[in-house]
């Protein structure tokens, strides 16, 4: 069996949903698990709903949610004939769930509400797509993935409970009625029946979990680009397609901030040597990129820019060595705040840590390390990473920039610089 994942851009219009159906029609009898994201920018829209709700602006939240309701109802109307009413009924059930919540006053924390509301995006998209596929003669089983993926209650970044989930995945797949099992990426559920999400862009990860647990022959991620590129073409017009990559390289790229594939996606695939194809849904005949576990030589330079970075300067309070005890306490603080350092530079009595600028989280982190270090935060930075760099390329890419920190290893160079310079 194979797993396919379609992201938000591949289902953001009536035509694109028709295109998805045309792709699936080319695999008539293949057992498939199809994982789909929320349509287009729905997740961002739902985030705005939660923000308004948690800020006490109930009317605004309901109004914003209304826009999302209309978008989905209209899409369903354009796509469906015989199954329109059945689909609408199901959509309404999801709408009502959110509206009930929005009519209450917020009493729990933001992350909890975030997950209860934001999970709706994938439920709505898959519901419409499932009905459309059925109407187009592509029989499929729609499943609420919250009945399958069990997670802890780290809302917005939930951890999957592997064994419970695996049992359910295998069970649901074995008992499906049709070759295609269609379900949502990105969302899960706790033992207490509360919805959770796995982190933004988490649908790739869901797809990899299914691939691993079902011993899939491959996972294909359908995107709006030719395949994995050597840089983001929006930032670097000279970016080119890389037709073959390995897991190590992709996990490094994701770690450095490439928006290609969610970083958590690779481990479940690597562990079972399941190849990952990245293909273009706009032109399925293109070869795309294959990613596997084998060793590769002579990879081209790969460029990644991570925006919105801050550099936290931590200086020893009493001139004691940063080395031992304070360092391990510092790591513990990062761990508790669930902040992953992107770059660390240590000196005798100082440490510099580059992290994503997460506003409040950054301030909270600074506060919790204040008893150990004197702290200064430098904002508005960008982190450029070049894998397989040459000195010439490094020179070219940093010309005219004002670096704040540079780190080099044999394979990788990273340059942190002020934005807009
Ligand atoms: N819809 C979610 C997001 O936009 C998950 C995903 O697309 O993978 O982050
Ligand atoms: Mg997406």
CATH number, domain containing residue 385: 3.30.2130.10
Atom 2, ligand 1: residue with shortest CA distance: 201
> Which letter, b or e, does each residue of 279-317 get, where b requires 16 or more Cβ atoms within 10 Å of its Cβ?
bbbeeeeeebbbbbbeeeeeeeebbbbbebbbbbebebe
Same domain for 140 and 18, yes or no, is yes
pLDDT tens per residue across span 14-44: 999 999 999 999 998 899 999 999 999 999 9
Domain membership of residue 371 (yes or no) is yes
Atom 3, ligand 1: residue with shortest CA distance: 201
Please name the residue that has the structure tokens 């698990």: 33
Asked which of 223, 244, 265 is the last residue of a domain, the reply is 223
Q: What are phi and psi of 79, to 5 degrees?
A: -90, -30
Domain membership of residue 290 (yes or no) is no
Asked which of 223, 253, 270 is the last residue of a domain, the reply is 223
Q: Is 185 in the pocket of ligand 1 (CB under 6 A)?
A: yes
Q: Which residues constitute the domain of residue 85?
A: 2-223
Same domain for 138 and 17, yes or no, is yes
- pLDDT grade for 156, boundaries at 50, 70 and 90: very high
Report which listed range, 282-286, 350-354, 362-366, is most confident.
Answer: 282-286
Same domain for 219 and 82, yes or no, is yes
Domain membership of residue 237 (yes or no) is no
Atom 8, ligand 1: residue with shortest CA distance: 201
- pLDDT grade for 215, boundaries at 50, 70 and 90: very high
Same domain for 23 and 169, yes or no, is yes
Q: State in Å: Cα 154 to ligand 2 middle.
A: 21
> Which letter, b or e, does each residue of 206-235 get, where b requires 16 or more Cβ atoms within 10 Å of its Cβ?
bbbbbbbbbebebbbbbbebbbbbbbbeee
Same domain for 151 and 30, yes or no, is yes
pLDDT tens per residue across span 370-411: 888 899 999 999 999 999 999 999 999 999 998 999 999 999
Other CB atoms within a 10 A radius of the CB of residue 121 amount to 28
Atom 7, ligand 1: residue with shortest CA distance: 201
CATH code, domain with 167: 3.40.1160.10
Which atom, in ligand 1's list, is nearest to the CA of 203?
Answer: 8
> Which letter, b or e, does each residue of 174-202 get, where b requires 16 or more Cβ atoms within 10 Å of its Cβ?
eebeebbbbbbbbbbbbeeebbbbbeebb
Same domain for 82 and 211, yes or no, is yes
Is the model's pLDDT at 320 over the cut of 80?
no
Mean predicted lDDT score pLDDT of the chain: 94
pLDDT of residue 323: 61
Q: State in Å: Cα 38 to ligand 1 middle.
A: 6
- Number of domains forming the structure of the chain: 2
pLDDT tens per residue across span 51-86: 999 999 999 999 999 999 999 999 999 999 999 999
pTM of the prediction?
Answer: 0.88
Domain membership of residue 246 (yes or no) is no
**How large a percentage of the chain has pLDDT more than 70?**
99
Domain membership of residue 352 (yes or no) is yes
pLDDT tens per residue across span 178-187: 999 999 999 9
- pLDDT grade for 361, boundaries at 50, 70 and 90: confident
Asked whether the beta carbons of 11 and 17 are under 8 A apart, the reply is yes
Asked whether the beta carbons of 45 and 33 are under 8 A apart, the reply is no
Q: State in Å: Cα 122 to ligand 1 middle.
A: 8
- Quote the Cα angle for 378-379-383, to 5°: 100
What residues does the ion ligand 2 have nearby, CB within 5 Å?
7-8, 37
Q: Is 8 in the pocket of ligand 1 (CB under 6 A)?
A: yes
Domain membership of residue 69 (yes or no) is yes
Domain membership of residue 256 (yes or no) is no
Is the model's pLDDT at 47 over the cut of 70?
yes
Q: State in Å: Cα 203 to ligand 1 middle.
A: 6
pLDDT of residue 321: 66
Is the model's pLDDT at 166 over the cut of 70?
yes
* CA count, 13 A, side-chain hemisphere, 86: 13
For the CA of 208, the nearest ligand: 1
Asked whether the beta carbons of 247 and 294 are under 8 A apart, the reply is no
Asked which of 206, 223, 240 is the last residue of a domain, the reply is 223
Q: Is 43 in the pocket of ligand 1 (CB under 6 A)?
A: yes
Same domain for 188 and 315, yes or no, is no
Q: State in Å: Cα 37 to ligand 2 middle.
A: 6
């Amino acid at each position: 069996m194979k797993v396919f994942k379609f992201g938000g851009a591949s289902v953001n219009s009536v035509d694109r949903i028709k295109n998805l159906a045309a792709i699936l029609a080319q695999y008539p009898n293949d057992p498939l698990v199809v994982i789909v994201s929320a349509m287009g920018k729905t997740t961002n829209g739902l985030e705005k709903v939660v923000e308004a709700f948690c800020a006490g602006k109930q009317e605004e939240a309901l109004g914003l949610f209304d826009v999302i309701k209309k978008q989905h109802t209209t899409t369903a109307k354009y796509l469906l004939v015989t199954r329109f009413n059945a689909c609408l009924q199901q959509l309404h059930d999801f709408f009502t769930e959110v509206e009930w919540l929005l009519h209450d006053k917020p009493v729990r924390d933001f992350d909890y509400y975030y997950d209860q509301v934001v999970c709706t995006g994938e439920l709505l998209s898959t519901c419409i797509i499932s009905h459309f596929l059925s109407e187009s003669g592509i029989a499929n089983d729609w499943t609420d993935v919250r009945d399958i993926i069990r997670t802890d209650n780290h809302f917005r970044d939930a951890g999957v409970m592997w064994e419970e989930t695996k049992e359910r995945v295998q069970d649901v797949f074995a008992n499906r009625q049709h070759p295609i099992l269609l379900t949502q990426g990105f969302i899960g559920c706790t033992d207490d029946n509360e919805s959770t999400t796995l982190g933004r862009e988490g649908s790739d990860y869901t797809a990899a979990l299914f691939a691993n647990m079902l011993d899939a022959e491959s996972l294909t991620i359908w995107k709006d680009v030719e395949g994995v590129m050597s840089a983001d073409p929006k930032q670097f017009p000279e970016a080119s397609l890389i037709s073959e990559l390995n897991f190590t390289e992709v996990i490094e790229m994701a770690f450095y901030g490439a928006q290609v594939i969610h970083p958590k996606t690779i481990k479940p695939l690597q562990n079972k040597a399941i190849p990952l194809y990245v293909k273009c849904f706009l032109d399925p005949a293109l070869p795309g990129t294959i990613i596997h576990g084998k060793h590769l030589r002579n990879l081209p330079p790969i460029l990644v820019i991570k925006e919105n970075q801050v550099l936290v300067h931590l200086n020893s309070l009493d001139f004691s060595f940063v080395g031992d005890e304070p360092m391990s306490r510092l790591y513990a603080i990062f761990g508790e705040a669930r902040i992953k350092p992107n770059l660390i530079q240590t000196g005798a009595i100082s440490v510099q840590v580059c992290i994503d600028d997460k506003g409040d989280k950054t301030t909270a982190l600074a506060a919790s390390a204040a008893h150990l270090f004197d702290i200064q935060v430098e904002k508005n930075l960008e982190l450029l990473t070049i894998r397989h760099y040459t000195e010439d390329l490094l020179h070219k890419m940093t010309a005219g920039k004002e670096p704040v920190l540079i780190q080099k290893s044999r394979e990788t160079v990273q340059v942190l610089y002020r934005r807009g310079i």
